[in-house]
Amino acid sequence: MAGEAPILHHQHVRLYEQVRSAHLERARELAPAAIVYRVKRYDFDPSLTDGVELAQADTLAAARLAMRSRITRVEVDEPLYLDSLPRTAAVLAVLGMKRLGGAPRAEVATYAIEDLDPFAARPARVRSRVRRSIERVLAGYIWHRLDTVVYGTSEADALYNTTFRRAPRRQLTVEALPSPCACASDDASTDGSNEGPVERDSDGVLFLGSFSPRKGFADVLEAWPAIVSRHPGARLTLVGAGELLPEARAAAAADPSIRLIVDPPRSVVHEELRRAHVLVLPSRRVGAWREQVGLPIVEGLAHGCEIVTTSETGIADWLIDAGHVVLPADVLSAGLADGVVDALVNPRSPDEILADLPDVDGRIAAGRALFREAGVHP
């Protein structure tokens, strides 16, 4: 496959099913490692790849990379992320076979934020039940191969320790909260250029991410007329891409209070986060999917935004305690409009919101803790 390398240069590997811009940004604050991935997310920004060893590889190619490379540490996707199971299991099996041949044992760790048991429901079709049985076996194999698991939420901790019997040797929880983004405290853009400060829009609402039903995108569009009628001057910026992009284009064309930015570079994303007063992400459960944390929520917090979301996020309790708006999972458009208007009239400054955040980004702290690197800058 494109990007496949015959041998990885780093002995530390991050094996991801999907790679996105956030992974590349974090890579600069974590110990150097190769990122081996299968697909790129819609928000992948190639300008962030400089200095990062990347290898695109499907299951067989990833297994070959593991066979030919010296790997002493590997961070894998969490065991309840079913899409990644075959690839992760194949790589761990190869590393196990290499150990039988005298290679050193590779340390294995994962960061876990899943909060919905994918094995709870019994599929109706026989073929699906067989597949689910195989996935359960693979998930159990990966879980029992782990040396360390760092949970991003207490819900993930509870889920894993009721789903699997034997726990890894090291378990700890590092709440998935961001630290203030550096761009929120200076005038520099994230690519290092100096484009001047971005003025905060006290009437600005931002939807950031996938234009999809599960992220509540259609609910935001449905609630917007009621929001504007109650808070004249409110402005909605839609940033992202996804299956409901045609609806986004139609809404922006019909309503001058709606602005659309499709799949922009990260520097623009950071600018819009600095500009917005409110970030809205009313995630709702769809099938076997539930919002784990919500990267847009994390990024909104890091830039001092008021957050409007639902109880589906794994940090809902923290958001409530910190004064943000957390709505019921089954909220209707009228309730969503109430929540957004409440957030718009909240007089808190970005600095007040940022003051609630930790000094070290939770995902960075977790990444260092996976291999006992807590507090150590690479």
Could you report the per-residue pLDDT of 266-292, keeping only the tens digit for each?
999 999 999 999 999 999 998 878 999
Tokens of 371: 């291999």
Q: What is the pTM of this model?
A: 0.88
Backbone angles phi, psi at 163, to 5 degrees: -85, -35
Question: Which range among 133-137, 166-170, 283-287 has the greatest average pLDDT?
Answer: 133-137
Mean per-residue pLDDT, 133-162:
96
Would you report the helix, strand and coil content of the chain in percent, each value rounded to 5? 40, 20, 40
Beta-carbon count within 10 A of 178 CB = 21
Contact 228, 337 (CB under 8 A): no
pLDDT at 167: 87
- Quote the CA–CA distance of 304 and 319 in Å, as a whole number: 13
- Quote the CA–CA distance of 216 and 19 in Å, as a whole number: 23
Q: Residue 17: which residues within 8 A CB-CB, separation 6 or more?
A: 37, 38, 39, 77, 81, 83, 84, 87
Residues 61-77 have pLDDT tens digits of 999 999 999 999 999 99
Contact 133, 178 (CB under 8 A): no
- 20-56 burial, b at 16+ Cβ within 10 Å, e below that, comes to bbbbbbebeebbebbbbbbebbebbbeebeeebbbbb
pLDDT at 378: 33
pLDDT at 4: 47
> Across all residues in the chain, what is the average pLDDT?
92
- Quote the CA–CA distance of 3 and 61 in Å, as a whole number: 10
pLDDT at 184: 58
pLDDT at 58: 97
Q: Residue 191: which residues within 8 A CB-CB, separation 6 or more?
A: 47, 265, 266, 267
Q: How confident is the model at residue 25 (pLDDT cuts 50, 70, 90)?
A: very high
pLDDT: which is higher, 121 or 200: 200
Q: Residue 49: which residues within 8 A CB-CB, separation 6 or more?
A: 24
- Quote the CA–CA distance of 68 and 84 in Å, as a whole number: 21
What is the 3-class SS of 58-80, one letter each residue? CHHHHHHHHHHCCCCEEEECCCC
Residues 189-202 have pLDDT tens digits of 444 333 557 899 99
Residues 320-332 have pLDDT tens digits of 999 999 999 999 9
Contact 43, 63 (CB under 8 A): no
H or E element in which residue 280 lies:
strand 278-281
Residues 82-117 have pLDDT tens digits of 999 999 999 999 999 999 999 999 999 999 999 999
Contact 276, 206 (CB under 8 A): yes
pLDDT at 242: 95
- Quote the CA–CA distance of 312 and 371 in Å, as a whole number: 30
pLDDT: which is higher, 124 or 35: 35
Contact 290, 116 (CB under 8 A): yes
DSSP symbol at 140: H
pLDDT at position 30 over 80: yes
Find the length of the chain. Answer: 378
Mean per-residue pLDDT, 220-239:
98
Residues 306-357 have pLDDT tens digits of 999 999 999 999 999 999 999 999 999 999 999 999 999 999 999 999 999 9
